[in-house]
Amino acid sequence: MSVLVSVEQVEKSFPLPGGQEYLALKGIDLQIHRGEFVSLIGHSGCGKSTLLNMVAGLSLPTGGIVALDGHTITAPGPDRMVVFQHYSLLPWLTVRQNIALAVNAVLKNHSPAERQQIVEEHIDLVGLRHAADKPPAQLSGGMKQRVAIARALALRPKVLLLDEPFGALDALTRGNLQEQLRRICEEHQMTTLMVTHDVDEAVLLSDRVVMLTNGPGSRIGNILTIDIPRPRRRLEVVNHPSYYSYRSEIIYFLNQQKRIKQWRARRSTVVARHGLEKINLEIGFVPLTACAPLAVAKEKGFFAKHGLEEVNLVRETSWRGIQDGIQGGYLDAAQMPAGMPVWMSLGGGDNPPQPVVTALTLTRNGNAITLHKRFYEQGIHTLSQLKAYILDSPSRRLTFGVVHPSSMHNLLLRYWLAAGGIHPDQDVVLKTLPPAQMVANLTAGNIDGYCVGEPWNLRAALEGSGFTVATDLEIWLGHPGKVLGVREDWARAYPNTHIALVKALLEACRYCEDPAHHDEIRELLSRRAYLSTDPSYIHLGDPQRLICDLDRPMREYAHHRFFLGAGNRPSRTEHLWMMTQMARWGDLPFPRNWVEIVERVCQVGVFSTAARELGLDVSYQRQPIQLFDGIPFNGEDPLAYLNSLAIKHDIYVAEVALDRRPVLL
Amino acid sequence: MDERSRYLILHPLYRNSDLDQGLLRQTLASLQRVAIGYCSAALVGITLGILVGSSVWINRALDPIFQFLRMVAPLAWVPISLAALQRNEPAALFVIFITSIWPILINTAVGVRQIPEDYINVSKVLKLSKVDFFFKVLLPSALPYMFTGLRIGIGLSWLAIIAAEIVMSGVPGIGFFIWDAYQQNYVTEIIVAVIYIGAVGLLLDRLMSVLQNKIANQ
């Protein structure tokens, strides 16, 4: 497909009264291919209509170039016909006259008879034969917009530009019109650029959805390619397996933009007190049983005890939200999946490397792998049985949910599958979903199983939608679950705050470990501010009663460990193991400078200082990691270890340069 | 009621001399002047209004002048026009013209300036020719405003003609008739004439309203 419209480094500012300028758009790069349907989505005032108007030529960029077919756009023209939100039909002309006015003005080299035929053809195209001689005032909103679309299409534009075409219509009419527009665009291979507010509309119609960040200085935040085959019918497209993940991707983006706006509005002042550099902290967490130490530190006053008097726990629904919050500096610290500090430091997910450090392992264990109960009924109770099933049914690839590329769930599930001879990228499909959506997706049949933290395994078992096929016991007993993560520049700017934070959370971990407090913590976690679920789903568990009995999947098997003394120390060996696993699946290169990176990520000194000040004995001995398949990992030679693994992606090794970013204040 | 007034009411069309005519004849004479003055005001007003409305710069330059002239009362124009034009008849026409042109001009200009952005965008995208734009977009869009101006204008011109005729005596017309009656102390005749004036004003306004509904309110 060749490029039809190209937007290069476009910038647009508007003069404000008082001589100042408002920068609406900045650094916009976008290429629209012939026959492609592209949507622009974003919050009000983000400049999406401005961008559309620049393609139309109705306003010109103050920087950069907008070109059609290689020619810079300097003025409006009928080859870029616009359909406006408010129809913009001339009220003193009838439907036919409105279309004819455009056709006569533009298609001058056609004979009058040909022109008339084109007009009639397009009246029929939008089904308005019965209203052809009525003035717009006698038409409903939907009919008016159909006239506007017919008028635009009649001119055979190279690009059709739609500015919130259905924004003013009621839901039913909108649905019908979307369907008609989709059909017409598909049949005519129309190149289309549409501005919209409606997420479902964008997913239904678009090949690509361009998401704009909030102004001033809006940029393209993300471009989502909607890979759903055409023709797409409105009622069928929602059943496509990817539909909801596209939809939630866009909604996540829009929510994130809204929150950034709120964050910006709340002036972030640094409050220093008690010899700490900053005592007002925003700490992110995801509602899971494993967030207990954070909830306890807040509710039982451990934060306040260590001088952190203004801690605000920010509830995120997905790890992606934590990642973005830390990356954008909106969160001071966060509960993170164990692999996230390494993953972010190495620039996972095509982000620029963002050095993140951890000085505390918050929890160990607490994960499990759940399969749909269908497998249980078919007698698939073990990994080898699952492999046999996959070999028997090559036509359908099973889909498994994980919560984040950097989470232990992803790494453990992959390891578990690979150990059983199943290639996690070739034999099955792994999909990223927020933890709280796992059970619903399993029930709906979108996924066949998942690896996630509690309470979501227990819940599926209790509800009868799935069963636990493997727990920590079967994979890696005592694996790190969640860690405390902060940006490296943050840790450097607020060293005493960092130590106080680790002290508060370490004390909270010790509190959580005591079985005498378990009922209290379960009640606390079940509150609306945290998991907002029934306490019967929340179990902190006793590691001495580890049972995963497939015949009785309701038995307790959640066995978080919150406090293990030396076990809360950030382990270089473990982080190095995670680094090898990320490289194993081609997610990231294996860093040649892995020694440096492990040293920087694991802030052992902060942990030791905090533990010493609390009077805890955290002496430890380095031990190799032992997983269920019996292959030890001692961290001496990670590349040799990688090479020894049978199932893996092509591994590439590269130097990862961690730049020292300016200290964030 | 005296005999003269009764005669006036019963014989609206009598004619003894140029200045001694029935009330209907007097009214028609006045209306004729209004027609000429008002039509030229409409022509000039709409043309100037479109010009002023379509250019911000012309508007900035001329608007203060228009606002200045608009505030001058019709009666104040009478001596000026008499001095300038020397004769009663053209002077009367000029007073009507200058009184009724302002609302027409200003409303037309507003109408042109208020063409919805959407219509302008459409014509830009379609690259409509100047002629097409004028007749298919600008004129129909500004028409309601123009008619508002025309309707105010016709009322004003009727007001002005009475005032003008009272002052510049010696021409047949309903204004002069009142002045003459006042000089001779025929108060009842004045009342009869006032009823004529009011009725004609009402008719003129209704006429414009019918026209407006027919043409502008499609």
Say how far apart CA A91 and CA A123 lie, in whole Å.
17
**In this structure, which amino acid lies at residue A268?**
S
**In this structure, which amino acid lies at residue A233?**
R
**In this structure, which amino acid lies at residue A650?**
D
The answer to whether B216 faces chain A, any CB pair under 8 Å, is no
Q: What are residue A333's phi and psi, to 5 degrees?
A: -150, 165
Say how far apart CA B11 and CA B32 lie, in whole Å.
21
Say how far apart CA B48 and CA B98 lie, in whole Å.
13
Say how far apart CA B199 and CA B188 lie, in whole Å.
17
pLDDT of A550 over the 50 cut: no
The answer to whether B127 faces chain A, any CB pair under 8 Å, is yes
DSSP lists the bridge partners of residue A468 as: A370
Structure tokens at A651: 């591994």
* Nearest in space to B118 (alpha carbons), one of A84, A562, A71: A84
Residue A88, number of CB atoms within 10 A of its CB: 23
Which residues on A lie below 8 Å from B146 (Cβ)? none
**Interchain CB contacts (distance < 8 Å): A and B:** 55
Contact predicate A399/A413, CB 8 Å: no
pLDDT of A641 over the 90 cut: no
Say how far apart CA A84 and CA A145 lie, in whole Å.
9
Strands (E), A109-236: 159-163, 191-196, 208-212, 220-225
- Give the three-class secondary structure for B150: helix
CB contact under 8 A, B136 and A90: yes
A417 contacts: CB under 8 Å, gap ≥ 6: A383, A423, A424, A427, A428
CB contact under 8 A, B127 and A76: yes
pLDDT of A554 over the 50 cut: no
Q: What are residue A652's phi and psi, to 5 degrees?
A: -120, 145
Q: What are residue A30's phi and psi, to 5 degrees?
A: -155, 135
* Nearest in space to A557 (alpha carbons), one of A469, A482, A629: A469
- Give the three-class secondary structure for A19: coil
DSSP lists the bridge partners of residue A192 as: A37, A160
pLDDT tens per residue, range B10-56: 888 788 877 778 888 888 988 998 999 999 999 999 999 999 988 88
Burial of A495 (0-12, 13-18, 19+ CB in 10 A): middle
Q: Torsion over CA of B34, B38, B39 and B43, rounded to 10 degrees?
A: 170
Structure tokens at B165: 């005729």
Say how far apart CA A510 and CA A133 lie, in whole Å.
80
Within its chain, how far is the Cα of A181 from the centroid?
A: 29
pLDDT of A552 over the 60 cut: no
Which residues on B lie below 8 Å from A76 (Cβ)? 121, 124-125, 127
Average pLDDT, chain A: 84
pLDDT on residue A407:
86
Give how far Cα A227 sits from Cα of A114, A203, A210, A246, A366, Å. Answer: 39, 10, 14, 9, 35
pLDDT of A663 over the 70 cut: no
CB contact under 8 A, B137 and A58: no
Sign of the alpha-carbon dihedral angle for A226, A229, A230, A236: negative
pLDDT tens per residue, range A153-165: 888 888 999 998 8
Looking at chain A, how many residues does it have?
Answer: 665
Q: Which of B125, B130, B137 to mutate to test the interface with A (most CBs of A within 10 A)?
A: B125
Say how far apart CA A177 and CA A601 lie, in whole Å.
53
Say how far apart CA A345 and CA A659 lie, in whole Å.
10
pLDDT on residue A665:
40
Burial of A267 (0-12, 13-18, 19+ CB in 10 A): exposed
pLDDT on residue A267:
59
Say how far apart CA A523 and CA A519 lie, in whole Å.
6
CB contact under 8 A, A84 and B121: yes
Q: pLDDT-based confidence at A556, cuts 50/70/90?
A: very low
pLDDT of A664 over the 50 cut: no
Burial of A228 (0-12, 13-18, 19+ CB in 10 A): middle
How close B128 gets to chain A, by Cα (Å)? 6
Which residues on A lie below 8 Å from B118 (Cβ)? 84, 86-88
Give the range among A264-278, A502-516, B83-97 with minimum mean pLDDT: A264-278
Q: DSSP label at A282?
A: E
pLDDT on residue A351:
79
Q: pLDDT-based confidence at A557, cuts 50/70/90?
A: low
What average pLDDT does this structure show over A88-114?
Answer: 89
Which residues on B lie below 8 Å from A93 (Cβ)? 136
* Nearest in space to A546 (alpha carbons), one of A536, A563, A558, A562: A558
Q: Model's pTM, two decimal places? A: 0.69
Say how far apart CA A323 and CA A319 lie, in whole Å.
6
Give the range among A89-93, A322-326, A630-634, B196-200 with minimum mean pLDDT: A630-634
Say how far apart CA A66 and CA A4 lie, in whole Å.
11
pLDDT of A133 over the 50 cut: yes
Q: What are residue A95's phi and psi, to 5 degrees?
A: -55, -50
CB contact under 8 A, A106 and B126: yes
Residue of B nearest to A89 (CA): B119
CB contact under 8 A, B136 and A93: yes
pLDDT of A544 over the 80 cut: no
What average pLDDT does this structure show over A415-440?
Answer: 84
The answer to whether B70 faces chain A, any CB pair under 8 Å, is no
* Nearest in space to A601 (alpha carbons), one of A486, A479, A498: A486
CB contact under 8 A, B126 and A86: no
What average pLDDT does this structure show over B88-105?
Answer: 90
Structure tokens at A124: 């029929």
CA atoms within 13 A on the CB side of B90: 8
Portion of chain B with pLDDT greater than 90, in percent? 29
Give how far Cα A606 sits from Cα of A125, A274, A283, A496, A632, Å. Answer: 70, 18, 18, 9, 28
pLDDT of A244 over the 70 cut: yes
A229 contacts: CB under 8 Å, gap ≥ 6: none
pLDDT of A541 over the 70 cut: no
Q: pLDDT-based confidence at B176, cuts 50/70/90?
A: confident
pLDDT on residue B217:
63
Residue A231, number of CB atoms within 10 A of its CB: 10
Sign of the alpha-carbon dihedral angle for A536, A539, A545, A547: positive
The residue among A577 and B13 whose pLDDT is bigger is A577
Structure tokens at B207: 């006429």
Write the DSSP assignment of A523-555 as a string of letters.
HHHTSTTTT-S-GGG-----GGG----TT-TTS
A194: left (phi over 0), alpha (psi -120 to 50) or beta: beta
Give how far Cα A30 sits from Cα of A4, A38, A55, Å. Answer: 11, 10, 11
What average pLDDT does this structure show over A232-255?
Answer: 84
A46 contacts: CB under 8 Å, gap ≥ 6: A212, A213, A214, A215, A218, A257
Q: At what angle do helices A383-392 and A408-419 cross, to 10 degrees?
A: 70
The residue among A65 and A549 whose pLDDT is bigger is A65
pLDDT on residue A417:
85
Out of A58, A91, A105, the one facing B126 most closely (by C-beta) is A105
pLDDT tens per residue, range A177-186: 888 888 888 8
Within its chain, how far is the Cα of A25 from the centroid?
A: 24
pLDDT on residue A662:
46
A355: left (phi over 0), alpha (psi -120 to 50) or beta: beta
Portion of chain A with pLDDT greater than 70, in percent? 95
Say how far apart CA A75 and CA B125 lie, in whole Å.
8
ipTM exceeding 0.90, yes/no: no
Which residues on A lie below 8 Å from B136 (Cβ)? 90, 93, 101
Contact predicate A279/A254, CB 8 Å: no
The answer to whether B75 faces chain A, any CB pair under 8 Å, is no
Starting at the edge strand found earlier in the chain, the sheet holding A367-372 runs A428-432, A398-402, A449-453, A367-372, A466-471
SS3 percent helix, strand, coil of chain A, rounded to 5, is: 40, 20, 40
Give the helix/strand (H/E) hosting B113: helix B88-113
Q: How many helices (H) and strands (E) does chain A have?
A: 25, 24
pLDDT on residue A268:
67
pLDDT of A661 over the 80 cut: no
